Structure 1
Amino acid sequence: MGFFMTFHLSYKFRLLLLFLLCLTVLGWATSNYFVGAIQEIPKAKDFMANFNKVLVWGKGKTLTQEASMKEADLNNCPSVSPYLRGQNKLVFKPDLTLEEVEAKNPKVHRGRYHPEECRASQRVAILIPHRNREKHLLYLLEHLHPFLQRQQLDYGIYVIHQAGSKKFNRAKLLNVGYLEALKDENWDCFIFHDVDLVPENDLNIYKCEEQPKHLVVGRNSTGYRLRYNGYFGGVTALSREQFFKVNGFSNNYWGWGGEDDDLRLRVELHRMKIIRPMPNVGKYTMIFHTRDRGNEVNIERLLGEVCTLLPTDSTMGGFIDTLKLSQGPVSNGWMKLLHQVSQVWRTDGLTSCIYKLLSVDYNPLYTNITVDFWSGA
């Protein structure tokens, strides 16, 4: 009897041990299952990503493309774009059409573009003053869009058109472009760009630096040399803060010339230094043209350039110095505006830019801003 009791107890005890062992094994297996399931979540994400490739959202846009754009916002573009080519040979087709240029830039909308693979370091607005230069504008757009895209820039192109036949005011148009573009986007950098200058080398980066940057070191029309000592025209880059600090351009330069020298003086008054790329990089092709009616040479600018180009001890230089000091009718307006920069820059510029906005048209390759200047011309 005692033997059977002992055997019975030991048998129950062994069943209990076996039951506990089964529970332990079951618990271990269950925990491994959930750990494995957690580890499989990334794989599940990959599966869903592949699956979502077939889900079309809107016109040709997929859910994964939307997700990729959001993910790209987390990645900065490299400091040097891998798409740069350096010096390019420019070709200007006589029969080029706007439709051709649009077809070559399918990712540009309303003149805006941003790289899909990374986040650009700056948002750059290109401002182009314009009137009666449709062919030049077409050539510039043809080359400038791929040029900027190879630099992986987040950019927008604005063409500021002066209506009417009054004297052209490049500087005031650029002030308008700055003010109107900021209504679209909080741009970091502004490139003030003549319509007849096309960049040749994409190593000439269209970004702003800690100091104002002059991009046109040389052009074909000057033998690829700086136009004159102190030249600050053609294509310049100033940050939003730099341009605001100097109160933009003067609004008082009607006709061709003078406004870029005025801007240089404003920059120097604020103890900023103008920087430039290397001469073999800052190269441009100027598309030749005749002077437009209403954009005649500003005589003050012309004489100012002569004065800058000639040595001060030359006979002609002495003659010019004599004219400066004379009280005759020739000198009454000579260099007057440039001599007044230090006194008027606070009140003549962005803060006094009056214009009538006629229209804002969103074209595929650029935003066109048309204005009228009803006074001062």
Structure 2
Amino acid sequence: GNSFVMDWMRKIAVVLLILLAVIGFTVVPATPRFDHVLEAPSSAPISVDKNRVSNQVAGQVSDHGSGQVSGQVSADLRKYSMLSCNRDVFSFKETSRNQMGDHNPRLPYVPYRIEEKPKHLLGIVVPYRQRWNHLIELREELGTFLRKHHIEYRFFVLNQSDEYRFNRGSLMNIGVLAASIYGCDYVALHDIDLVPLSDKINYGFPAEGAYHATPDGIHPSKKYPGYFGGVALMRISSYLRVNGFCNMYWGWGGEDSEFERRVSNATKKYSDFKVTRPPKIDKASEGMPFKHLGAESHSRDKRSRTINKYWRCEPGNGYSSVQYSCNRVYEENSLNDVIFIDTKLHCDKEITPTCDEDMVKTVKP
């Protein structure tokens, strides 16, 4: 009896020693600071064959009737995609601490796991440059809003890390491609400084066409008819039908109007392509439908507004032709709802000299 007990005790001791050895020698990768990526160009861009990916994504979402994206998209395209460039992990909470210091009372980290096979998956595409305060607030408050409405989602934050002026349209095009690769079947084209407040704003799977969530009367600061910026939701199939945003608009201004023209033309060309909007909201009795976090754009990005309106963008210039290099993708793990994509855009200065701040002064409307 004693020998039997001793044998079992020895076996248990061996197992415990093995477990301690495994735990003791496990290497936990250090969490990198993210501010050098958010605020400065990365050093080694990697060019990617985007057209190969784009054609395959288009093939997966060509069924305009259902808007469903094959569950095989993510698995099939990963090895070809721009997301095969350099990859790192990061902690959103640790990054926020690096950016803002320990005094920040709002270090957002919400454990969030996407269902293994959700019926629909929303990709929130957010063009970004040096607006960390807005990003953490958007991620926290919009995430809470979407979970309240039982909407499965991921954020795709497109960081423009080159020396050129901001190009919101090109970043949107790259973000929609990334959302496709991660298995999303619809996207929210989202300004970083807008947070929904009203339950009448619908982030659910839209009809074919476009759901403009922030038209005149809903957007907290834009007061003119025809405005088409802010937040718009589209099936990826709808986005491909209009070829996304024009890539010629550097600095702020013009890209939304050009996109509205594309959407409007599609409503005339396709009988199933419609533009829908939220119902009227009485701000006096129901409150503001959106919160505006305030503007922090760079002055150098504003100065081409009057120049941009003179560009004429061909229909072939858009999602299918965006030129960029993917430097690095930052994602944490399956619990993380934010994917950062650090990218450099390409610019032909003979065609669009306004990408270069020094050349803006020489361009006359």
Does TM, scored on the shorter chain, surpass 0.5? yes
Q: Supply the distance in 1 between the matched residues of 2:146 and 2:290 (Cα, whole angstroms).
A: 15
Q: Aligned with 2:328: secondary structure?
A: strand
- 1:205 is aligned to 202
Shift of 1:220: 7.2
Give how far 1:297 is off.
Answer: 4.1
Partner of 2:309: 335
Hey, what does 1:277 align to over in structure 2? 278
Do 1:219 and 1:286's aligned partners in 2 also have CA atoms closer than 8 Å? no
Within the alignment, does 1:144 sit opposite 2:142 as a pair?
Answer: yes
**Structure-2 change in CA distance of 1:209 and 1:255 (3 Å):** same
Aligned mate of 1:349, from 315, 318, 336: 318
Aligned pair 1:299/2:305, yes or no? yes
Does the 8 A contact of 2:210 with 2:276 survive in 1? yes
Change (3 A) 1:334 1:152: closer
Paired with 2:305 and 2:208, the residues of 1 have a C-alpha distance of 34
- In the TM superposition, what is the alpha-carbon distance from 1:188 to its structure 2 partner? 1.6
By how many angstroms is 1:197 displaced?
A: 0.8
Find the residue that maps to 2:301 and give its secondary structure: coil
Q: 1:1-12 to 2 correspondence within 5 Å? A: none
Question: Which of residues 88, 103, 112 is equivalent to 1:107?
Answer: 112
The letter of the residue matching 2:237 is E
| Contact 2:210/2:238 (<8 A) preserved | yes
Larger Rg: 1
CA–CA distance in structure 2, aligned partners of residues 146 and 202 of structure 1:
12
Q: Distance in 2 between matches of 1:220 and 1:270?
A: 24
Counterpart position of 1:28 = none
> What letter matches 1:242 in structure 2?
S
Question: What SS does the corresponding residue of 2:209 show, helix, strand or coil?
Answer: coil
In structure 1, the residue matched to 2:187 is 190
1:266 maps to: 262
Structure 1 distance, partners of 2:190, 2:170, is: 13
- Residue pair 2:214, 2:229 contacting (<8 A) in 1 also: yes
Q: Assess if the C-alpha contact under 8 Å between 1:120 and 1:152 holds in 2.
A: no
C-alpha offsets along residues 229-252 of structure 1, whole Å, 9 cap, x if unaligned? 111101001111110000110000
**Who is 1:370 aligned against?**
342
Secondary structure of 2:227's partner?
coil
Report the Cα distance in structure 2 between the residues aligned to 1:270 and 1:220, rounded to whole angstroms: 24
Change (3 A) 1:97 1:166: farther
Partners of 2:174 and 2:331 lie apart in 1 by 16
Counterpart for residue 15 of structure 2: none
Instruction: Tell me the TM-score normalized by structure 2.
Output: 0.59
Distance 2:176 2:318 in 1: 11
Letter in 2 for 1:291: S
Contact persistence 1:124–1:154 (CA under 8 A): yes
Q: CA deviation at 1:198?
A: 1.1
TM-score (norm 1): 0.57
SS of corresponding position for 1:371 = strand
1:179-213: CA deviation from partner (whole Å, max 9, x where unpaired): 1222221x221100000111112331212223311
Deviation at 1:219, TM superposition (A): 5.7
Match of 2:30 in 1: none
Q: Using CA pairs under 8 Å that are at least 6 residues apart, name the structure with larger relative contact order, 1 or 2.
A: 2
Where is the helix percentage greater, Structure 1 or Structure 2? Answer: 1
Aligned residue for 2:274, secondary structure, equals: coil
Output the CA distance in 1 between the equivalents of 2:112 and 2:189: 23
Quote the offset at 1:283 in angstroms: 1.8
The corresponding residue for 1:179 is 177
CA–CA distance in 2 between the matches of 1:358 and 1:136?
Answer: 23
2-side partners of 1:248 and 1:334: how far apart? 17
Residues 1-377 of structure 1: pairs in structure 2 closer than 5 A: 96=104, 100-102=107-109, 105-108=110-113, 113-114=114-115, 121-185=119-183, 187-207=184-204, 208-217=206-215, 218=217, 221-222=220-221, 227-271=223-267, 272-280=273-281, 283-300=289-306, 335-337=309-311, 340-341=312-313, 344-345=314-315, 347-363=316-332, 364-376=336-348, 377=355
CA distance in 1, matches of 2:340, 2:220: 29
Tell me the amino acid that sits aligned with residue 193 of structure 1: H
Deviation at residue 274 of structure 1 after TM alignment: 2.0
Judge which range, 279-288 or 236-245, deviates more: 279-288
Q: Which amino acid aligns with 1:288?
A: G
Structure 1 window deviating more from structure 2 (273-282 vs 263-272): it is 273-282
Following TM superposition, the consecutive aligned residue runs of length 4 or more in structure 1 with deviations greater than 4 angstroms are 94-98, 218-221
Percent identity over the alignment is 28
> 1:353, 1:97 → 2: CA distance?
39
Distance 1:348 1:220 in 2: 28
* Distance verdict in 2 for CA 1:176–1:288, change over 3 Å: same
Question: CA 1:171 to 1:220, structure 2 compared with 1: closer, same or farther past 3 Å?
Answer: closer
| Amino acid corresponding to residue 293 of structure 2 in structure 1 | I
Q: Aligned-pair RMSD on alpha carbons?
A: 2.6
| Deviation, structure 1 residue 255 | 0.2
Counterpart amino acid of 1:216? T
Distance 1:107 1:166 in 2: 35
Deviations 1:132-183 (A, max 9, x none): 0000001101101111111111211110100033200001001001112222
Report the alpha carbon displacement of residue 107 of structure 1 after superposing the two structures with TM: 2.4
Residues paired across the two proteins, number: 234
Q: 1:182 to 1:219 in 2, by over 3 A?
A: same
Task: Give 5+ residue unaligned stretches, structure 2.
Answer: 1-100, 268-272, 349-354, 356-365
